[in-house]
Structure 1
Amino acid sequence: MRNMNERDFNARAARIREAIESGPLAMSEIADTMGVARTSVLNWKRKGNINLDNLKGFAQLTGYRFWWLAFGEGPKKYDEPEAELENPLMEIAKFSTEHARLVECISHLTAARVLTPALAEGITISLNAVAALKKSE
């Protein structure tokens, strides 16, 4: 994952603060639901320093997109239009929530350098093989 500097954490803190203040749950409810200390949620809100697993859970609870919370990129929420996204893969996500989750997973794994070019090529070959099997049925 890319290195975070103080400005990045401050910007993330602002996004987390927005999600808390306009989201459906109070900070204490977020902490209780996620099984973390209330001071942890307060620190996320103030400093933006949150581990990725907690950020994923936080995103699910608040309805804000993980990628927007983490990096400020893309739409804030799942119910926002995606027409102005710069990422062409997001066109795929318009077909279903499952497609959206797949695209988001690919984006996260690529940013984390887990999805290497060789692995991406292997997945592409596998998907093409599935498509070829479907055509022959």
Structure 2
Amino acid sequence: MLTPLQIYFPIGVVLLVAVVLAFTMLGLANVLGPRRPSLVKQTPFECGSEPVGSARERFGVKFYVVALLFIVFDIEAIFLYPWAVLLLPDGQGYPGLGWPGFVSMGIFVFTLVAGLVYVWKKGVLDWAD
């Protein structure tokens, strides 16, 4: 029987190597990279045109609401994928989730669709105003 330390040790080694490698590359780029500062390099770049106005503009709340809705439905997709994989038996001894798993995910999806319909009816997704 493997202990949790034995199971997770390779993951820790990979993470440690990744962090060390990332900081090594950043450090080498900082030390060995050329430094030729100029006014053109220090100006903000906006799609090839000169920046107009302040970068501290206020955005409408709708942008944040749409971002939150995107996150909610993105997380829904994250939950749907393992459910779809585990729903049916795999033929190697795993019995699958069966009807209880199907019903529970149906309730989950119904709740999210009801939320989407509510948001749609409230006009949150309407950008015409």
Q: Same fold (TM over 0.5)?
A: no
Which structure has the higher relative contact order (CA within 8 Å, separation 6+)? 1
